[in-house]
């Protein structure tokens, strides 16, 4: 009898543990108007993403420039020389591929070839033309590492570049080094006037006053 009673109690406990009460579930519904608005917003986002990722066919000029870049890279790889590395840089600039142009300059340095100001200024001016003025400034700042001196031409190019992208204070900081370059001449009056006006309009009155002494 004792064993029977024990088994009955165990069965009862097991039964009670298996019984549970389901929690209340409350459904949240949105109106048709809200659903339509969400759906419409989702479609607009998808359309914008599709438009941004749309592939653009390259122009014949772009294809030709890319082919010339590949050919120049192949030639330089087969018979490395400074002249061929510079050719790669020029081909990369023509193909709007500044990353490859910088790689070519790095390769010139890595192989121990002497850098020259003409090549480096050409790359800096390409960066400025592409709106990457900070990149051009960083390259110019490293000229001394390559044994190349900064001249007034690159100072003028950087100043004009920063004015074009709407950074008059950066333009002023570059322009301030004008008198420290060895071949310093009188800065171009049109550039000086543009810098003065940009600083004044941006509220940099102290800097504008300094530039006005060059007018």
Angle 168-190-116 from CA coordinates, rounded to 5°: 75
Is 0.85 topped by the overall pTM? Answer: no
**Alpha-carbon span 79 to 85, nearest angstrom:** 10
Phi–psi pair at 54, nearest 5 degrees: -65, 130
Residue 187 and residue 214 in contact, taking contact as beta carbons nearer than 8 Å: yes
Separation between Cα atoms, residue 96 and residue 119, nearest integer Å: 16
Q: What is the pLDDT of residue 178?
A: 92
Q: List C-alpha distances in Å: 73 to 68, 90, 104, 175.
A: 9, 11, 9, 37
d(C-alpha 37, C-alpha 21), whole Å: 38
Q: How do the pLDDT tens digits run along the chain, 215 residues long?
A: 444 454 455 444 444 554 444 444 444 555 667 667 666 777 777 777 766 666 577 888 989 999 999 999 999 999 899 999 999 999 999 999 999 999 999 999 999 999 999 999 999 999 999 999 999 999 999 988 888 889 999 999 999 999 999 999 999 999 999 988 877 788 999 999 999 999 999 999 999 999 999 98
Identify the CA nearest to 122 among candidates 150, 146, 93, 151. Answer: 93
């Amino acid at each position: 009898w004792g064993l029977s009673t024990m088994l009955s109690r165990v069965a009862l406990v097991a039964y009670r543990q298996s019984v549970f009460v389901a929690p209340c579930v409350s459904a949240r519904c949105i109106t048709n108007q809200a659903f339509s608005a969400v759906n419409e917003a989702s479609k607009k986002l998808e359309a914008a993403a599709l438009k941004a990722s749309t592939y653009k066919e390259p122009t014949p000029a772009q294809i030709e420039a890319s082919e010339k870049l590949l050919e120049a890279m192949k030639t330089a790889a087969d018979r490395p020389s400074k002249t061929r590395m510079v050719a790669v840089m020029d081909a990369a600039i023509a193909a709007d591929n500044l990353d490859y142009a910088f790689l070519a300059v790095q390769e010139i340095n890595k192989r121990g070839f002497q850098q020259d100001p003409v090549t480096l200024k050409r790359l800096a001016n390409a960066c400025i033309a592409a709106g990457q003025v900070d990149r051009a400034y960083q390259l110019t700042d490293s000229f001394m590492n390559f044994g190349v001196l900064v001249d007034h031409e690159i100072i003028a190019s950087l100043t004009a570049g920063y004015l074009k992208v709407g950074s008059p204070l950066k333009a002023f900081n570059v322009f301030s080094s004008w008198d420290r370059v060895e071949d310093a001449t009188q800065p171009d009056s049109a550039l000086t006037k543009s810098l003065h006006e940009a600083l004044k309009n941006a509220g940099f009155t102290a800097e504008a006053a300094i530039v006005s002494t060059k007018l």
